[in-house]
Structure 1
Amino acid sequence: MSANELHFRTEDLTLEDVGKYFVETEFDRQTIDTLKGRKTVVLQGARGVGKSFLLKVAQKEMNEDFSDSKTLAVYVTFNKAGLLQTSDPGRFKHWMLAKICDRIIREARKKGLLQSQSSVFATLSHGQSDEVIASQLETLWKNLEDAWKNESTSIDTSSGIDPELIKDAVEDLCDQSGTSRIVMLIDEAAHVFIPEQQRQFFTVMRDLRSPYLSVKAAVYPGVTYFGDSFQLSHDAELINVNRNILDPAYLSSMREIVIRQDPELESSINRHGAVFDALAFASSGNPRTLLKTVSATSPLTTNNAQRVMREYYRDTIWSEHTALGERYIGHRDVIDWGRDFLQKHMIPMLRKKQRQTEDPDKRIFLWIHRDAPAAVKEALRLLCYSGILHEAGSGLVATRGLTGTRYMLNVGTRTGPEADPVAATNWLRGSISIKRMVEFGANHELYESIARLDVEKMDEQRQEFIKSQLGRTVDELDMTAFARGRLKELGFDTVGQILAASEADFQQAKWVGPVRSRQMMNIATAAVMEYLSG
């Protein structure tokens, strides 16, 4: 494998690959053990930090240990939830419950826990067999996903399912099969920028909790709405997936992540250790960002790394964040303000102080007073979604005993503007302290332009986006060159064409069979849905 073929996404990987590429840290082990446990868990992190990977590792370990633990892992992704933006808000709940129930039945069948006429889920469909029920549920959720193609089509969403019925069926399944419990691992759980779906999901998440069923859900920071019925501090344990760049083992673990995927890169990384360390530190703990920048840097040299860091951290990461404002008009003002706040004020101020020879400023942390305007906090949350900021502690006391939230600035965005970003990054990592923060009070003058913006009305301004984007080219999707090339060879040149395709369509390509077509479908769907959702 060359560096250009490094896998950026968990969707590219089989469970066997996940086990092979997993580089365990102490934090990862604690997180995986919690995911396998009985607690309800909300796994939160920006795009690419490894939420899906950790869910898959937990699934793999539970699968391998099933004969002893009798804990059934059920993995399901909600990445197509964004297609259900219709005039009928109930469609999402029907789709969600049908998909959850269908996956439980199918995973139980794989483990031999269900016989064809077991009737464990009979209450869901008038005594029919589980196989018939699963088929009906699959038809329901697929029809709901495809409804965007023709909204005039009438779909009967009545499945007779509610959380209580699912809990009863799961308890019956466990009692009859000797299974101790079921762990539901839900990826892409709360689709971004669709607050109503998120509120419905977290209500269901709370209602599904039982001694026999626990739910673990991966969500994005900054854009997740839990609703009034779900109290995060009481109903779930929140785990923030952020690798600690100040951990002494940080650089070695990031190095191992790359080498596990491509052992041939090890000699180059060892020869150019300082260059690789700069890329790893600039990625601020995001494995996908590291893999993408290492891939683009091939061959690994100082000049190539400088070029890539300038391109990615000066332009790409900011343009991706700005694009959110183009897609979600209601959020445009806070998105633009947040970008300007960091690019025009925060980062230049740090660079200016950095040039002072007596006391060079190596701060990458900022602190915002808890009473700052809601629009300011919304802007910072969206910067966390894009991975430009990372929340690094709330309720923290700063100067004069005031309380607020600490954020870490992405290191690459801090050093990318420098003439030599590689040297600047390695200089910066020498003496960073989490205790040193740039503080912004409750009424800072930089807030003035958006202080009165009504955050509550932002979602009312959100315009239909999906339909307008279906004609966009496949070249705009974040996927491997192989997958993109095969899709284009088959004539799937647009977002809409990919969404309307099937695995059988992909198998028309040379050397693409059932396994590869399933992988391509997963990769394409994940890339399309992340693009459409922001």
Structure 2
Amino acid sequence: MADDHLDAADDSGLLLAAEECPRDDFQKYHSFAKYERAIIQRIIAHGPVLLRGGRGSGKSALLIESFLQMKREHASTVLPVYISLRHLPLLRSEGAEYEAHFCRILSAEINKELSRNQLGTFPITKDVGALLQALEENARLLARRIVLLFDDAAHIGRERPLEDFFDIFRTISTSRISCKASIYPGVTKFGVRFDVFNDATVIDISRDERKDDFHEIFVEVTKKRFPQIAKKVAASRSLDEVSFGKIMGRAVTGNLRSFVFACNLMQENAAIGYPELTKCLLELSGNYFWPLLDEVAPKLGSYEVLVPPSQEVAHLIFTACARKGATYALVHRDIMQKQSKIFEILEYAGFFSKREASRAMKSGGRGVVYSVNLCNLLEMTSGRRLTSDLASQWIRATEEPYELRYTNSALAKIDIPAPGAERDLAILNKPISILKKSPAYPYGLTDDKLERLENAGLATIKAVAEADDNAILAINMVGKASLKRIRDVVHQAIWM
């Protein structure tokens, strides 16, 4: 069977998600700052860990690097197992049904890892008690600590199964079994048995522009994945690599996935200076961040109705910050208590990034501090042009934050409906035609592949997600490389 040639190296600029990067190429495309190396050591150490961060903040990269480092440096004492929980049955079940799917998926992944390392086999089970017994027995026989790294443990639009996950997480965490999991900000449904403060160490991983080494990761990623841009920055009369890393990292509130997208936009530029950065930031605002809310909407389940008011709240804050010349917003805690999901959606989509959980407000009360992305801020700024003076002002970030209080008249005019009952995600019933290459899906599917899938009866996201690999491979001109691309794009559509 013929297959189109899909080379990961050719797509280095499009590898937006760490979990989709081939393991052999992982170190080639990923860099980690000093403080991220410290987080990796905490992941490797004993004890349960929850890694909390927004979309594209680097959760998966940290888990995968921890996994690879344990295999390289601790193979005689540790058996690491990386498990992606991007499985549709987990998203659509709860209770005993969720437990059965989870145990089957986890035991199958453990069995694969044991087989790859020629360390025996692991029984495929659907029961937590049997799973724990088998884990303990293998840890004892192998004289190794087993480290389970759960990626994508939480989905922003489907929260009910989370209680089941954390119940299992707590049950199988022992002195021999170390559980680690990535979650998004705003997860609150931990269940009655799981105490987040006592049953795990929570590590927040957002990249903070206030740290001295903030720019380093963006400089390193540019050199590794976009060497031509790095050369143009080095030759620039108005920029150096430090200022480039600071302003572009700050522009996307420290989000590497958005930074990679930005670099893709700049690859064709003959030179890199402030005019090119201006064009890039405005392009990100109009054709990446605002459309991203539309892309996220069908993944939100009962919270989909909150996307239009989220857009209005974001517009209000960016307009006010631009008028004040501020790059931070201080949101009163009364607003956060009533409308926290609005800010979780905006943080998930990269509009804001939380910096402080509580700060006193000038006019009384306390609030949450958010860093706002500079792309949308520039769009609302008079003149819509990034200059060296404006860049310096934004990087220094010495101005007072814009304060959003519950008495704000513009906020009061925004109609914010109550979420409905939990339901299936709308994305599952969308036609696969939405997965065509586009700003939302930069490494989407070609017209040819979409047509072949549709002709095979796989016309919706749900149909492709539920189809087994053999059914997709049976389609003419679809081989293993195309299968991986199809799976990656479908996973992006449902989970990212």
Q: Quickly name the TM-score band, shorter chain normalised.
A: 0.7 to 0.9
Percent identical among aligned pairs is 18
Deviation at 1:475, TM superposition (A): 0.7
Q: Secondary structure at the match of 1:393?
A: strand
Q: Mind listing any 5+ residue stretches in structure 1 that lack a counterpart?
A: 117-129, 138-158, 354-360
- 2:59 aligned with 1:51: yes
Distance 1:430 1:387, change over 3 A: closer
- Residue by residue over 1:94-151, the C-alpha shift from the partner in whole angstroms, topping out at 9 and shown as x without a partner, is 111211122222212322332x6xxxxxxxxxxxxx4xx44xx5xxxxxxxxxxxxxx
- 2:195 aligned with 1:200: no
Q: In structure 2, what is the equivalent of residue 127 of structure 1?
A: none
Q: Secondary structure at the match of 2:164?
A: helix
Write the distance in 2 (CA, Å) between the matches of 1:262 and 1:307: 18
| Alignment check: 8 A CA contact 2:251 2:374 kept | yes
Write out aligned runs for 1:75-114 (5 A): 75-81=82-88, 84-85=91-92, 90-114=96-120
Write out aligned runs for 1:344-363 (5 A): 345-353=316-324, 361=325, 363=326
Q: In structure 1, what is the equivalent of residue 4 of structure 2?
A: none
Distance 1:224 1:498, change over 3 A: farther
Deviation at 1:56, TM superposition (A): 0.8
- 2:191 aligned with 1:227: yes
The residue identity in structure 2 corresponding to 1:314 is: G
Deviation at 1:64, TM superposition (A): 0.8
- 2:284 aligned with 1:284: no
Distance 1:166 1:320, change over 3 A: same
Distance 1:331 1:96, change over 3 A: same
Write the distance in 2 (CA, Å) between the matches of 1:50 and 1:523: 21
Distance 1:85 1:463, change over 3 A: closer
| Alignment check: 8 A CA contact 2:51 2:182 kept | yes
The residue identity in structure 1 corresponding to 2:49 is: V
Write the distance in 1 (CA, Å) between the matches of 2:297 and 2:24: 39
Write the distance in 1 (CA, Å) between the matches of 2:299 and 2:91: 17
- 2:292 aligned with 1:331: no
Q: Secondary structure at the match of 2:197?
A: helix
The partner residue of 2:356 within 365, 388, 393 is: 393
Q: Mind listing any 5+ residue stretches in structure 2 that lack a counterpart?
A: 1-8
Q: Secondary structure at the match of 2:82?
A: strand
Write the distance in 2 (CA, Å) between the matches of 1:231 and 1:479: 38
The residue identity in structure 2 corresponding to 1:402 is: G
| Alignment check: 8 A CA contact 2:29 2:221 kept | yes
Write out aligned runs for 1:17-32 (5 A): 17-32=25-40
User: TM-score normalized by structure 1?
Assistant: 0.78
Write the distance in 1 (CA, Å) between the matches of 2:47 and 2:90: 30
| Alignment check: 8 A CA contact 1:391 1:408 kept | yes
| Alignment check: 8 A CA contact 2:107 2:131 kept | yes
- Residue by residue over 1:402-430, the C-alpha shift from the partner in whole angstroms, topping out at 9 and shown as x without a partner, is 33322211222212344444427624434
Write the distance in 2 (CA, Å) between the matches of 1:409 and 1:385: 13
Distance 1:372 1:103, change over 3 A: same
| Alignment check: 8 A CA contact 1:79 1:526 kept | no
The residue identity in structure 2 corresponding to 1:529 is: H
Q: In structure 1, what is the equivalent of residue 233 of structure 2?
A: 269
| Alignment check: 8 A CA contact 1:3 1:295 kept | no
Distance 1:83 1:95, change over 3 A: closer
The partner residue of 2:281 within 297, 309, 323 is: 309
The partner residue of 1:437 within 401, 409, 422 is: 401
Deviation at 1:240, TM superposition (A): 1.8
Deviation at 1:445, TM superposition (A): 3.6
- 2:180 aligned with 1:216: yes
| Alignment check: 8 A CA contact 1:283 1:410 kept | yes
- 2:39 aligned with 1:63: no
The residue identity in structure 2 corresponding to 1:66 is: H
Q: In structure 1, what is the equivalent of residue 155 of structure 2?
A: 191
Write the distance in 2 (CA, Å) between the matches of 1:182 and 1:459: 41
- 2:458 aligned with 1:491: no
- Residue by residue over 1:193-223, the C-alpha shift from the partner in whole angstroms, topping out at 9 and shown as x without a partner, is 1111112111211222100112111122236
- 2:384 aligned with 1:377: no
The partner residue of 2:376 within 413, 416, 441 is: 413
Q: Secondary structure at the match of 2:357?
A: coil
Distance 1:464 1:64, change over 3 A: closer
- Residue by residue over 1:475-518, the C-alpha shift from the partner in whole angstroms, topping out at 9 and shown as x without a partner, is 1675564x7349728823653564326268459888x975xx3x
| Alignment check: 8 A CA contact 1:279 1:294 kept | no
Write the distance in 1 (CA, Å) between the matches of 2:26 and 2:344: 30
Distance 1:393 1:230, change over 3 A: farther
Write the distance in 2 (CA, Å) between the matches of 1:428 and 1:292: 24
| Alignment check: 8 A CA contact 1:195 1:225 kept | yes
| Alignment check: 8 A CA contact 1:78 1:186 kept | yes
The residue identity in structure 2 corresponding to 1:36 is: I
- Residue by residue over 1:326-380, the C-alpha shift from the partner in whole angstroms, topping out at 9 and shown as x without a partner, is 664743553322321231x222223223xxxxxxx3x222222323364422211
Q: In structure 2, what is the equivalent of residue 121 of structure 1?
A: none
Distance 1:352 1:464, change over 3 A: closer
Deviation at 1:229, TM superposition (A): 3.0
User: TM-score normalized by structure 2?
Assistant: 0.83
Write the distance in 1 (CA, Å) between the matches of 2:489 and 2:430: 14
The partner residue of 1:177 within 142, 156, 164 is: 142
- Residue by residue over 1:43-95, the C-alpha shift from the partner in whole angstroms, topping out at 9 and shown as x without a partner, is 12222221111111001001112344x11110011112467526x75322211
Q: In structure 1, what is the equivalent of residue 430 of structure 2?
A: 469
- 2:330 aligned with 1:367: yes
Write the distance in 1 (CA, Å) between the matches of 2:305 and 2:408: 18
- 2:264 aligned with 1:295: yes
Q: In structure 1, what is the equivalent of residue 205 of structure 2?
A: 241
Q: In structure 1, what is the equivalent of residue 469 of structure 2?
A: 502
Write the distance in 2 (CA, Å) between the matches of 1:351 and 1:470: 39
More displaced 10-residue stretch of structure 1: 458-467 or 193-202? 458-467
Distance 1:447 1:479, change over 3 A: closer
How many residue pairs get matched? 471
Write the distance in 2 (CA, Å) between the matches of 1:222 and 1:315: 26
Write out aligned runs for 1:448-463 (5 A): 448-449=412-413, 454=418, 458-460=419-421, 462=423
The residue identity in structure 1 corresponding to 2:334 is: D
